[in-house]
């Protein structure tokens, strides 16, 4: 049974693919505690936080859900050594890393630098999961396909759509990523997803993970 069919048959299972997110730069410890409490209460896959809050999230979740930290956030313009340093400082607290592609290198057609950047971060991540954000709402469909192919070439486990600063993700972006990548590369849809139906649309297009600050609303819209 496909993931889409599974979710149509049992909508509450959406919780298992939701990365519950708070990457607000002004997020407080109290807000992160609430985030993690909701992850545990609803059975979400992960809590996604900025690096500063990763140790706290790790302590609160205590292995019962994944901790995800964003790397090179939000524009990906840091050099690879800086991104690697972020990863190395966090490995003891973090299960998955959501890095941002070097958007400046991509905009300048520097394909080699884009791939090398992902490869460098993947080497630091090791056996843990690496997702790479291409900020698809800011790209044309051909650009999405090119970016996704480069991220896959660099060794990322997931192509992730967006940090959410350039507008919401739509299903056409997911389909463009799927067209450019092989079956072993997964897709995380994020950016403006706030209902079960919207999440299901992304899954139908090829996403296997959903990132959202509205995870509770998504789950409760299945009721």
Active site amino acids: 98, 160, 188
Q: Which helix (H) or strand (E) holds 20?
A: strand 18-22
Q: Are the beta carbons of 132 and 160 closer than 8 angstroms?
A: yes
In terms of Cβ atoms closer than 10 Å to its own Cβ (0-12, 13-18, 19+), residue 98 is buried
Hey, which bits of 34-171 come out as E strands? Answer: 46-49, 66-71, 96-100, 129-133, 158-160
DSSP 183: T
Nearest to 80 by CA among 109, 129, 114, 126: 114
Cis bond upstream, residue 74 (ω within 30): yes
- Taking a C-beta distance cutoff of 8 angstroms, is the pair 141, 133 a contact? no
Burial (0-12, 13-18, 19+ Cβ within 10 Å), 5: exposed
Distance CA 7, CA 5 (A): 5
For CA atoms 14, 198, 221, 42, give the dihedral sign.
positive
């Amino acid at each position: 049974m496909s993931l889409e069919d599974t979710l149509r048959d049992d909508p509450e299972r959406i919780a298992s693919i939701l990365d519950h997110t708070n990457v607000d730069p002004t997020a407080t410890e109290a807000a992160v505690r609430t985030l993690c409490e909701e992850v545990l209460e609803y059975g979400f896959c992960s809590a996604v936080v900025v690096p500063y809050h990763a140790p706290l999230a790790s302590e609160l979740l205590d292995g019962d859900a994944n901790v995800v930290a964003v790397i090179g956030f939000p524009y990906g313009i840091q050099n690879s050594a800086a991104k690697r340093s972020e990863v190395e400082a966090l490995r003891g607290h973090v299960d998955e890393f959501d890095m941002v592609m070097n958007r400046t290198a991509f905009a300048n057609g520097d394909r080699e630098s884009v791939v090398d950047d992902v490869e460098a971060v993947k080497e630091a991540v090791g056996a843990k999961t690496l997702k790479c954000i291409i900020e698809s709402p800011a790209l044309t469909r051909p650009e999405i396909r090119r970016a996704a192919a480069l991220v896959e070439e660099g060794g990322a486990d997931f192509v992730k759509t967006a940090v959410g600063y350039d507008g919401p993700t739509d299903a056409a972006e997911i389909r463009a990523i799927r067209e450019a990548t092989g079956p072993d590369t997964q897709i995380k849809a994020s950016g403006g997803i706030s209902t079960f139906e919207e999440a299901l649309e992304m899954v139908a297009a090829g996403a296997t993970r959903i990132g959202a600050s509205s995870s509770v609303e998504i789950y409760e819209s299945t009721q």
